[in-house]
């Protein structure tokens, strides 16, 4: 039986990955290792927590001794590494946390895998889940390909770029069987409401201002999280060692158009008289704000046969419905420290 470690499995994308692997591969033992930061929430995995092939380990990937101890104890055959500090705005407030978790934490995992696998690398996989932000910003035209040079602009993307470089270096130097994917903006259930889509849904629900950075003309390529998870499954099982694959939704939106779309959908669902668009408030821009991300996914499409299956309209509506019905989840994650973060991030904008 294969033992698979998924780091960051209590976070947004990680919880979807854990659920997918636990349900689809009962022959695998799935170990979810997570520090449970503000973004990690075991409530995201309530429906699978009692499955016999699911196990949870609370640990910090920055703790190198602990990582060696855990890898030696469980002898994983594969690693899907998603644990990270993931929010650009927080990286502007506190870059060091990103360097520790995203860079040092990733190298700790690489070292632990290298130690337990030694020269027995057959059928082993160390898969690093990364972001398109490592490529920097596009102008009005063009796409990121796997050959686009790295030009990260935020402390978050610089830390992810650095971790990607270490992962690739361990392949070249030690022959560690690595794979990397760089994906565009995900959305869907369980996303922490610091990110644009759930923040806007939550603020509309509470009749709060909808903060749009700058003029709202920055462009992101949005992908439903379940489509990302299918790509992750394919790359984990069929991707080539040492290779990078870009993953994107071919679904570009300016922030302002996207927010207006959410407003319209929610006006209908909430049956309110006052249009939610009236809540839109333009605020001070994000420092170093990347203008546009857009992905050329032809490599993963041609080599592994992946393509997004969900239409954006349906997936967005499904996501809004999930947030509207998950009142308790939303209340829990937006109380306490979230209020302090919100105040710090938005009160002086
Ligand atoms: P998230 O912030 O929702 O979850 C991150 C998880 O990592 C949390 O459960 C947290 O508790 C855990 N974690 C953080 N620091 C840790 C540490 N030191 N030790 C152990 N666990 C720790 O993030 P997400 O949006 O689900 O992103 C997951 C991964 O995918 C990240 O690596 C991110 O860079 C990448 N990614 C995200 C997106 C996106 O749009 N969200 C797109 C492309 C790539
Ligand atoms: O591209 C992949 C990346 O997408 C991931 O690697 C990151 O982990 C993930 O957080 C996301 O980064 P972004 O910075 O693009 O996502 P965010 O949801 O924070 O912002 C999306 C856009 O919306 C961005 O242009 C900034 C803008 N924005 C965001 C917030 C939170 C606003 O205008 N107002 C806001 O309040």
Q: What is the pLDDT of residues 207-238, one digit of tens each?
A: 999 999 999 999 999 999 999 999 999 999 99
pLDDT over threshold 90, residue 89: yes
Strands 125-131 and 178-183: parallel
pLDDT over threshold 70, residue 1: no
Residue nearest to atom 1 of ligand 1 (CA): 11
Ligand 2 neighbourhood includes 290 CB (under 6 angstroms): no
Domain boundaries in the chain?
3-191+222-250+291-311+338-346
Measured in Å, residue 186 CA sits from the centre of ligand 1 at: 12
Q: What is the pLDDT of residues 267-312, one digit of tens each?
A: 999 999 899 999 999 999 999 999 999 999 999 999 999 999 999 9
Output the pLDDT for position 119. Answer: 78
Active site residue 63: no
Active site residue 156: yes
Find where tokens 């978790």 sit: 101
Q: Kindly state the DSSP code that residue 42 receives in the 8-state scheme.
A: G
Active site residue 132: yes
Please state, in angstroms and rounded to a whole number, the distance separating the CA atoms of residues 145 and 151.
13
Output the pLDDT for position 334. Answer: 97
Q: Tell me the percentage of the chain whose pLDDT exceeds 70.
A: 100
The predicted model gives 90-99 an average pLDDT of 98
Sheet-wide strand order for 185-187: 185-187, 219-224, 252-254
pLDDT over threshold 90, residue 201: yes
Output the pLDDT for position 250. Answer: 96
Q: Kindly state the DSSP code that residue 77 receives in the 8-state scheme.
A: S
Ligand 2 neighbourhood includes 195 CB (under 6 angstroms): yes
Catalytically annotated residue among 31, 54, 156, 213? 156
Our separate counts of H helices and E strands in the chain read 13, 12
Contact 13, 39 (CB under 8 A): no
Rg (CA), the chain: 20
pTM of the predicted model, to two decimals? 0.99
Contact 170, 114 (CB under 8 A): yes
What is the residue-averaged pLDDT of the chain?
97
For 285-348, the DSSP string reads PPTT---B--B--HHHHHHH-----S-HHHHHHHHHHHHHH-HHHHHHHTSTHHHHHHHHHHTT
Q: What is the pLDDT of residues 21-60, one digit of tens each?
A: 999 999 999 999 999 999 999 999 999 999 999 999 999 9
Catalytically annotated residue among 29, 34, 60, 132? 132
Please state, in angstroms and rounded to a whole number, the distance separating the CA atoms of residues 50 and 23.
12
Give the start-end residues of each E strand in the chain. 2-7, 28-34, 54-58, 78-81, 125-131, 178-183, 185-187, 210-213, 219-224, 244-247, 252-254, 280-283
Catalytically annotated residue among 133, 164, 221, 290? 133
- Would you state the torsion angle of the CA atoms of residues 295, 80, 59, 44, taken in this order, to the nearest 10 degrees? 70
Please state, in angstroms and rounded to a whole number, the distance separating the CA atoms of residues 78 and 271.
48
The predicted model gives 125-132 an average pLDDT of 98
The class (CATH top level) of 3-191+222-250+291-311+338-346 is: alpha beta
Is residue 153 helix, strand or coil?
A: coil
Tokens standing for residue 102: 């995203």
Ligand 1 neighbourhood includes 163 CB (under 6 angstroms): no
Measured in Å, residue 290 CA sits from the centre of ligand 2 at: 10
Q: Ligand nearest 5 Cα, by number?
A: 1
- Taken as a whole, the chain contains a residue count of 349
């Amino acid at each position: 039986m294969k033992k698979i470690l998924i780091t960051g499995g209590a976070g947004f994308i990680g919880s979807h990955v854990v659920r997918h692997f636990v349900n689809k591969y009962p022959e695998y033992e799935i170990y979810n290792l997570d520090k449970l930061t503000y973004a990690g929430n075991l409530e995201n995995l309530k429906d699978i927590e009692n499955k016999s092939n699911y196990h949870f380990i609370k640990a910090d990937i920055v703790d190198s001794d602990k990582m060696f101890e855990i890898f030696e104890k469980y002898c994983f055959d594969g690693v899907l590494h998603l644990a990270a500090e993931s929010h650009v705005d927080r990286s502007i407030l506190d870059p060091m946390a990103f360097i520790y978790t995203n860079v040092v934490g990733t190298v700790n995992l690489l070292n632990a895998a290298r130690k337990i696998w030694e020269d027995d690398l057959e059928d082993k996989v160390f898969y690093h889940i990364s972001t398109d932000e490592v490529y920097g910003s596009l102008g009005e035209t063009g796409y990121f390909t796997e050959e686009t040079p790295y030009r990260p602009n935020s402390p978050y993307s610089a830390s992810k770029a650095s971790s990607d470089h270490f992962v690739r270096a361990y392949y070249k130097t030690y022959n560690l069987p690595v794979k990397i994917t760089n994906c565009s903006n995900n959305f869907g259930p369980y996303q922490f409401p610091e990110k644009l889509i759930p923040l806007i849904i939550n603020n509309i629900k509470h009749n709060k201002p909808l903060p749009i950075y700058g003029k709202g003309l920055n462009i992101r390529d949005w992908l439903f999280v379940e489509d990302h998870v299918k790509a992750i499954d394919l790359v984990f099982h069929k991707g080539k060692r040492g290779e990078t694959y870009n993953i994107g939704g071919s679904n570009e939106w300016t922030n302002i158009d996207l927010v207006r779309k959410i407003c319209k959908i929610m006006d209908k669902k909430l049956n309110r008289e006052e249009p939610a668009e009236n809540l839109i408030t333009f605020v001070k821009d994000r420092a170093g704000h990347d203008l546009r991300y857009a992905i050329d996914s032809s490599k993963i499409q041609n080599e592994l046969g992946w393509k997004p299956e969900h239409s954006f309209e349906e997936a967005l509506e499904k996501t809004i419905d999930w947030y509207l019905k998950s009142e308790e989840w939303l209340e829990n994650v937006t109380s306490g420290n979230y209020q302090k973060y919100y105040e710090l991030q938005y009160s002086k904008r």
